[in-house]
Structure 1
């Protein structure tokens, strides 16, 4: 079983009230080194077999047509969760 992770963020020109609320809360907690927050969405898509190039292409299509609103959001990544975890372990 494999997992594909899709990250979606609001476009830069779109106001992000949730992100602004988080920035305000961080400041109240004396964590003022953070000057901006953009809040997005993460989807995890489970697949029955391996995550192949075809599966990633289908996930990107789903991200662009269903998981995001292309008027106000960008799909910022579509990746194999297991490959990303393996790469992170190798870097350690």
Structure 2
């Protein structure tokens, strides 16, 4: 159990602002720890472009359906269309692991 306190004086901030920022930070840390969230990623580094990992053509690989969570091992050269034919769920969304 750690003890934390806000600074008594912070340049340019009144007492309520100091308490508010310390409380907000403590709540963020508590929720992050509770839900095991990683807040070290740069939010400004986000792009709308999804990273797509295509199935390898030369080796067997594991594909996991992100919709239902089932995993399958596929033969080399299996296409996305062939992966969808497995019929794991109504809306398969494959990710190559």
TM-score of the superposition, structure 1-length normalised? 0.29
More strand by share: 1
TM-score of the superposition, structure 2-length normalised? 0.28
**Which protein shows a greater Rg?**
2
Of structures 1 and 2, the one scoring higher in RCO (CA 8 A, sep 6+) is 1
More helix by share: 1
